[in-house]
């Protein structure tokens, strides 16, 4: 079985450059800047990307939909890669990859003056952008092997909340846990990586043993919320 190195990240949904900078200073391998469910619009994204500049933490941006113009703008602004929600077919995966690559490998527009090119002060890096396709529906689980086989897809990333919701909505008797081994097997057949979001560090070892290597732990919103609740409960207990 091909083993990918473990890469630890976290979800940043507040749209805060300070949160991004703190995550980088803490040493996360990557952060997910969320344009699908996050609190800020894409106009706030460059400020978060600047907060990561100069460090080793990779910026992965989840776009709200696989629109080529949005994908191109995110990469022009300097994101290291993208995550795309609800990818369900190989054809969708091909179109997503093409949106991240310049001609002749894709259909991404080319500009010398964008941030990723140093506003015209540097040549473009030959490194391809990371592309993570989210597996979040029953249909996506069935097509996972075909999606993973697409050249340019680096990893399948499970969205547990969406997948669990879709399973229940379709009266599918399987749980998210039931689907995970098959998704990992689908990635291994193409020597791609598998990723997942977990809520507690205690889940990490189990997911690693299943074969997941892109591991995101919790989110800035959750960490802030739960920290505040704990402190408030401690204060209220003094009454």
| Sequential DSSP letters for 14-78 | S--HHHHHHHHHHT-SEEEEESSSSSS-GGGHHHHHHHTTTSS-EEEEE-SS--HHHHHHHHHTT
Torsion (CA) 153, 159, 160, 163 in degrees, nearest 10: -90
For the beta carbon of residue 168, count every other beta carbon within 10 angstroms. 10
Counting residues of the chain whose pLDDT is more than 70, the rounded percentage is: 97
Residue 187: closest CA among 128, 117, 140: 140
Q: Is 131 helix (H, G, I), strand (E, B) or coil?
A: strand
Whether the Cβ atoms of residue 24 and residue 94 lie closer than 8 Å to each other: no
**Is there a catalytic annotation at residue 171?**
no
Given a cut of 80, whether residue 2 has pLDDT beyond it is no
Helix %, strand %, coil % of the chain (to 5): 45, 20, 40
The residues near 185 (Cβ < 8 Å, ≥ 6 apart) are 145
Domains and CATH numbers, the chain: 7-236 (3.20.20.60)
Indicate the helix (H) or strand (E) that contains 135. Answer: strand 130-135
Distance CA 185, CA 195 (A): 12
Q: What is the gyration radius of the CA atoms in the chain, in angstroms?
A: 18
Residues ≥6 apart with Cβ < 8 Å to 142: none
Say if residues 5 and 213 touch (Cβ distance below 8 Å).
yes
pLDDT at 1 over 60: no
H/E segment holding residue 155 = strand 155-158
Q: At what angle do helices 68-76 and 90-100 cross, to 10 degrees?
A: 40
Supply the mean pLDDT for the chain: 95
Residues 199, 205, 206, 207: is their CA dihedral positive or negative? positive
- The model's pLDDT over 114-168, given as tens digits with 9 standing for 90+, comes to 999 999 998 766 578 999 999 999 999 999 999 999 999 999 999 999 999 999 9
What is the structure's pLDDT at 167?
98
pTM greater than 0.75 (yes/no): yes
What is the pLDDT at residue 155? Answer: 98
pLDDT per residue over 13-71, tens digit each? 999 999 999 999 999 999 999 999 999 889 999 999 999 998 999 999 999 999 999 99
Which of 37, 67, 102, 206 is an active site residue?
A: 37
Place of tokens 């989840």: 62
CA angle, 75 as apex, 162 and 93 as ends, to 5°?
A: 45
């Amino acid at each position: 079985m091909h083993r990918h190195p473990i890469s630890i990240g976290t979800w940043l949904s507040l749209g805060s450059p300070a949160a991004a900078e703190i995550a980088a200073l803490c040493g996360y391998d990557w952060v997910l800047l969320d344009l699908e469910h996050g609190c800020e619009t894409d106009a706030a994204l460059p400020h978060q990307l600047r907060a990561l500049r100069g460090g080793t933490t990779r910026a992965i941006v989840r776009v709200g939909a696989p629109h080529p113009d949005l994908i191109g703008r995110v990469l022009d602004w300097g994101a290291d890669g993208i995550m795309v929600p609800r990818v369900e077919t190989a054809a969708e995966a091909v179109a997503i990859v093409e949106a991240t690559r310049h001609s002749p490998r894709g259909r991404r527009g080319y500009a010398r003056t964008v941030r990723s090119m140093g506003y015209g002060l540097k040549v473009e890096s030959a490194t391809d952008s990371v592309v993570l396709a989210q597996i979040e529906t029953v249909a996506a689980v069935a097509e996972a092997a075909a999606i993973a086989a697409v050249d340019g897809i680096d990893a399948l990333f499970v969205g547990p909340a969406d997948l669990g919701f879709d399973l229940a909505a379709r009266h599918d008797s399987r749980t998210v846990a039931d689907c995970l081994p098959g998704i990992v097997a689908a990635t291994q057949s193409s020597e791609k990586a598998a990723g997942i979001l977990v809520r507690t560090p205690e889940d990490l070892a189990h997911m690693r043993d299943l074969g997941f290597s892109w591991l995101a732990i919790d989110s800035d919103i959750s960490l802030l919320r739960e920290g505040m609740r704990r402190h408030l409960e401690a204060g209220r207990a003094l009454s």
